[in-house]
């Protein structure tokens, strides 16, 4: 009886006071970050879900400002585009290379047309909340709604009266790979797979995605399509389908090809709703079916939608903010939402997953096996956020990475569905995992992790896959130019070395904590080699020729805004010069003392040399906290950067979100603390945006529980250790 009353009251409060009693989930606006190259999307996804169901509007029409094939383009959705060609299943969010974004479902009406250049539609009335997206197709008068479970989609299409169709397009998508198969299982179920991969144009990083798709209404007819290769010569006249989308109206078994699809035809009553479900797996069709059967035993769209929202509500409740503007709360919780999309759960409901680089089937009995590790980005702050707010997830992610090493012999760098894509550089697993361990999350196989770290930090020559240009790094302390000729982006020698330095600094910290003094000494020594790069003449780090002289001529501004310049990857010397967070004081000495350091760093911001859209200089604003009396600069700059670069609008993220890295910068910055040195368990502090921030820490890992950050009082200190913070 008591319970019933409580429930009633609860409903009453939610109903009548919904504006003032909003929960975190209510503040999320999935449209934030869907333009301005942030490449997030408003699709439906569950936290870290394998499945995402995302409106696809980047192909097929000149109505779109951004076309996936007309420029470098890495998002399935762009806010300002206009031509919708379906829902992609399984996508990347906030990632800078085109990948996944296939298995496109599309409802249409009228005469069947399976060419996406024709069947796409303009749209209106978009709506997006965590786990739900809806849109109205102008051309067809169809309302589309989609939701998701962890490994399956739920889609509901409301048709006008007349001929209706549901299409599955396997030929197109964001990935640059092609080729797939679809097979009719019954008149309401199809299954198949598709090749995806070549992430960042790595030709060998390919893998299959398997699916099972169901509709909840028997079609009046159904069939396949395949785009036929064009023919030459006389055959052109004999084959009416050459060069066109051919419909297979009577075929009933596997159909494979570069550009294939399947259609269901219906006679719809006015307002008739047809539901679609798709289960996916990276192991097999059978697992995709089991995933779907387990997570959605029936067709129940509203139920799935409600469950997805509930899961998001629970996930986002880890932080409570008070004060700030509505817009700031929207920015904050949407940023938190963005950090909970990648990495993704890889294993199927039966625990099976594809092992790293082998196509063997692994099995995980406990916790999750994660994939999509954009570590060059996420080791800088996302791991730290997870360690603090979601330690259970962080541990599973660390365990997943160790699993990859066990299966393959190397830690991941930029892992995507058990393929190492070798995107970006460095040895990011070391700071990612060392940071976790040093913050007291130790429930993982540290011996194996250390074995992996030791290997990549000491193995010479070309056998060192993780550090492909390591010999001079060991010998001279730096990587000279031209050491790694195969790098497609040209010479990135300084960027490579800087990543090795921070990795080795982290590893030295870890080795010390593990009592490995000799190792610690070696790695500490390695981590300080950055000093070779400092040029008094330019006042920056500067590429070194093979003969040991500095690159000349040299302009430290070269390489800004993602242009190519020798030595630096996706940045100028300015974006990299301060990136020795493990030895800020040492760098200051090289620069002529603290004052010179502070002046130079201030100059970066004053002269627009800071790049808020990429990772290398992401922690720069917080480096002032190392210098007594200069901490006010951090607060001033961070406030300015938040206001200038972030908002609650679709363009509210300043560049690729990079699996939540940009969003995490915002989260930490709005909360008033920042983990500026990966692998060192400490934070810079600044004034939070909110009056009060409560971190509801997981008591299994942090027995003290909640941390409360009071934003109304002046700061007493500007740096804090992790241990101090959580105690």
- State the alpha helices, DSSP H only, in 409-492: 429-438, 446-458, 471-476
Q: Could you tell me the smallest distance in angstroms from the CB atom of residue 66 to its own copies?
A: 13
Measured from the CB atom, the residue of 284 and 320 that comes closer to its own copies is 284
**DSSP three-state, residue 124:** strand
Please tell me whether residue 181 binds its own copies under the rule CB under 8 A: yes
**DSSP three-state, residue 499:** helix
Q: Could you tell me the smallest distance in angstroms from the CB atom of residue 395 to its own copies?
A: 30
**DSSP three-state, residue 25:** helix
Q: Could you tell me the smallest distance in angstroms from the CB atom of residue 282 to its own copies?
A: 10
Please tell me whether residue 253 binds its own copies under the rule CB under 8 A: yes
Please tell me whether residue 117 binds its own copies under the rule CB under 8 A: no
Please tell me whether residue 198 binds its own copies under the rule CB under 8 A: yes
DSSP letter at 230 equals P
Please tell me whether residue 468 binds its own copies under the rule CB under 8 A: no
Q: Could you tell me the smallest distance in angstroms from the CB atom of residue 417 to its own copies?
A: 12
Please tell me whether residue 553 binds its own copies under the rule CB under 8 A: no
Q: Could you tell me the smallest distance in angstroms from the CB atom of residue 261 to its own copies?
A: 12
Q: Could you tell me the smallest distance in angstroms from the CB atom of residue 380 to its own copies?
A: 26
Distance CA 118, CA 188 (A): 25
Nearest-CA neighbor of 312 among 26, 41, 527? 26
Query: Binding residue for its own copies (CB under 8 A) from 195, 452, 613, 638?
Result: 195
C-alpha separations of 387 from 319, 324, 575, 673, 701 in Å:
14, 25, 27, 14, 10
Name the phi and psi angles at 232, rounded to 5.
-110, 170
Q: Could you tell me the smallest distance in angstroms from the CB atom of residue 362 to its own copies?
A: 14
Name the one range near its own copies by CB under 8 A: 153-161, 225-233, 511-519, 684-692.
Answer: 225-233
Residue whose token pair is 């996916």: 280
Helix axes 446-458, 493-513, angle to 10 degrees: 140
Query: Binding residue for its own copies (CB under 8 A) from 226, 369, 467, 524?
Result: 226
Q: Could you tell me the smallest distance in angstroms from the CB atom of residue 152 to its own copies?
A: 21
Q: Are strands 221-227 and 245-248 parallel, antiparallel or unpaired?
A: antiparallel
Name the one range near its own copies by CB under 8 A: 81-89, 195-203, 328-336, 391-399.
Answer: 195-203
Measured from the CB atom, the residue of 67 and 126 that comes closer to its own copies is 67
Q: Are strands 52-55 and 719-721 parallel, antiparallel or unpaired?
A: unpaired
Query: Binding residue for its own copies (CB under 8 A) from 10, 80, 221, 249?
Result: 249
Distance CA 529, CA 624 (A): 23
Distance CA 160, CA 287 (A): 35
Write the binding mask 351 to 390 for its own copies: x where contact by CB under 8 A, - elsewhere: ------xxx-------------------------------
Measured from the CB atom, the residue of 255 and 364 that comes closer to its own copies is 255
Query: Cβ contacts of residue 366 below 8 Å, gap of 6+?
Result: none
Please tell me whether residue 62 binds its own copies under the rule CB under 8 A: no
Q: What DSSP letter does each residue of 152-172 carry, written as one string? A: EEEEEEEEPSEEEEEEEE-S-
- State the alpha helices, DSSP H only, in 214-320: 235-238, 285-295, 301-316
**643 CA to centre of own chain:** 23
Q: Are 30 and 41 in contact (CB under 8 A)?
A: yes
Q: Are 330 and 32 in contact (CB under 8 A)?
A: yes
Name the one range near its own copies by CB under 8 A: 17-25, 80-88, 132-140, 193-201.
Answer: 193-201
Please tell me whether residue 193 binds its own copies under the rule CB under 8 A: yes
Please tell me whether residue 235 binds its own copies under the rule CB under 8 A: yes
Nearest-CA neighbor of 540 among 580, 499, 591? 591
Q: Could you tell me the smallest distance in angstroms from the CB atom of residue 89 to its own copies?
A: 18
Distance CA 483, CA 530 (A): 16
Q: Could you tell me the smallest distance in angstroms from the CB atom of residue 194 to its own copies?
A: 8
Query: Binding residue for its own copies (CB under 8 A) from 257, 279, 650, 679?
Result: 257
Please tell me whether residue 624 binds its own copies under the rule CB under 8 A: no
Query: Binding residue for its own copies (CB under 8 A) from 3, 4, 234, 366?
Result: 234
Nearest-CA neighbor of 80 among 46, 117, 110, 35? 35
Measured from the CB atom, the residue of 228 and 320 that comes closer to its own copies is 228
Please tell me whether residue 251 binds its own copies under the rule CB under 8 A: yes
Query: Binding residue for its own copies (CB under 8 A) from 62, 232, 463, 547?
Result: 232
C-alpha separations of 590 from 81, 133, 263, 580 in Å:
49, 53, 67, 12
Please tell me whether residue 486 binds its own copies under the rule CB under 8 A: no
Residue 148's DSSP bridge partners are: 153
Q: Could you tell me the smallest distance in angstroms from the CB atom of residue 228 to its own copies?
A: 7
Please tell me whether residue 69 binds its own copies under the rule CB under 8 A: yes
Distance CA 420, CA 702 (A): 34
Name the one range near its own copies by CB under 8 A: 12-20, 36-44, 206-214, 319-327.
Answer: 206-214
Which residues of this protein are in contact with its own copies, per CB under 8 A?
69-72, 176, 178-181, 193-195, 198, 201, 203-204, 206-208, 226, 228-229, 231-235, 238-241, 246, 248-260, 357-359
């Amino acid at each position: 009886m008591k319970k019933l009353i409580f429930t009633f009251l609860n409903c009453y409060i939610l109903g009548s006071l919904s504006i003032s009693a909003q929960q975190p989930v209510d503040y999320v606006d999935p449209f934030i970050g869907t333009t301005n190259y942030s490449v997030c999307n408003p699709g439906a996804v569950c936290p870290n879900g394998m499945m995402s169901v995302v409106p696809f509007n980047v192909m097929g029409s000149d109505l779109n400002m951004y076309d996936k094939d007309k420029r470098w383009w890495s998002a399935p959705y762009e806010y300002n585009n206009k031509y919708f060609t379906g829902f992609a299943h399984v996508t990347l969010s906030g990632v800078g290379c085109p990948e996944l974004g296939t298995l496109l479902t599309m409802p249409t009406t009228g005469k069947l047309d399976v060419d996406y250049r024709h069947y796409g539609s303009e749209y209106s009335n978009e709506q997006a909340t965590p786990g739900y997206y809806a849109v109205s197709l102008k051309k067809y008068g169809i309302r589309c709604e989609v939701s998701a479970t962890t490994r399956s989609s739920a889609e509901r299409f409301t048709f006008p009266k007349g001929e209706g169709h549901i299409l599955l397009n396997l030929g197109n998508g964001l990935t640059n790979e092609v080729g797939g198969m679809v097979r009719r299982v019954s008149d309401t179920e199809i299954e198949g797979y598709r090749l995806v991969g070549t992430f960042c144009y790595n030709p060998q990083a390919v893998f299959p995605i398997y699916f099972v798709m169901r509709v909840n209404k028997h079609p009046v007819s159904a069939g396949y399509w395949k785009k036929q290769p064009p023919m030459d010569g006389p055959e052109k006249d004999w084959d009416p389908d050459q060069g066109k989308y051919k419909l297979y109206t009577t075929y009933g078994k596997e159909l494979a090809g570069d550009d294939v699809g399947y259609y269901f035809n219906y006679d719809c009553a006015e307002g008739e709703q047809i539901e679609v479900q798709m289960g996916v797996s990276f192991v097999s069709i059978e697992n995709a079916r089991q995933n779907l059967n387990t997570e959605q035993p029936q067709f129940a769209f509203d139920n799935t939608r409600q469950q997805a929202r509930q899961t998001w509500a629970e996930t986002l409740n880890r932080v409570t903010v008070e004060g700030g503007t509505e817009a700031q709360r929207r920015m904050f919780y949407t940023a938190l939402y963005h950090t909970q999309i990648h990495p993704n759960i890889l294993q199927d409901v039966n625990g099976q997953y594809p092992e790293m680089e082998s196509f063997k089937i692994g099995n995980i009995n406990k916790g999750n096996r994660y994939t999509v590790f954009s570590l060059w980005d996420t080791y800088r702050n996302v791991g730290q956020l997870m360690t603090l707010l979601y330690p259970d997830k962080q541990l599973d992610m660390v365990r997943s990475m160790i699993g990859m090493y066990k299966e393959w012999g190397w830690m991941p760098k930029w892992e995507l569905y058990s393929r190492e894509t070798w995107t970006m550089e460095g040895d990011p697993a070391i700071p990612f995992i060392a940071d976790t361990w040093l913050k007291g999350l130790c429930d993982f196989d540290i011996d194996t992790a250390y074995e992996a770290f030791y290997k990549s930090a000491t193995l010479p020559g070309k056998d060192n896959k993780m550090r492909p240009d390591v010999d001079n790094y060991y010998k001279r302390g730096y990587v000279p130019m031209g050491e790694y000729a195969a790098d497609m982006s040209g010479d990135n020698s300084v960027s490579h070395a800087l990543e090795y330095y921070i990795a080795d600094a982290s590893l030295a910290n870890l080795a010390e904590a593990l009592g490995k003094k000799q190792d610690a000494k070696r790695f500490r020594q390695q981590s300080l080699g950055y000093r070779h790069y400092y040029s008094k003449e330019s006042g920056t780090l500067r590429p070194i020729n093979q003969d040991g002289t500095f690159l000349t001529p040299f302009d430290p501004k070269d390489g800004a805004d993602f242009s190519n310049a020798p030595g630096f990857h996706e940045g100028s010397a300015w974006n990299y010069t301060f990136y020795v967070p493990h030895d800020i004081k040492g760098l200051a000495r090289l620069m002529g003392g603290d004052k010179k350091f502070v002046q130079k760093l201030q100059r970066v911001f004053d002269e627009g040399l800071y790049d808020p859209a990429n990772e290398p200089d992401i922690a720069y604003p917080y480096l002032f906290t190392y210098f007594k009396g200069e901490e006010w600069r951090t607060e001033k700059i961070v406030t300015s950067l938040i206001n200038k670069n972030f908002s609650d609008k679709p363009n509210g993220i300043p560049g690729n979100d990079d699996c939540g890295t940009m969003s995490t910068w915002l989260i930490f910055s709005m909360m008033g603390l920042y983990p500026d040195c990966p692998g060192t368990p400490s934070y810079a502090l600044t004034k939070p945006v909110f009056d009060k921030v409560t971190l509801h820490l997981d008591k299994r890992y942090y027995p003290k529980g909640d941390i409360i950050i009071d934003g109304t009082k002046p700061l007493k200190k500007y740096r804090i250790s992790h241990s101090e913070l959580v105690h």
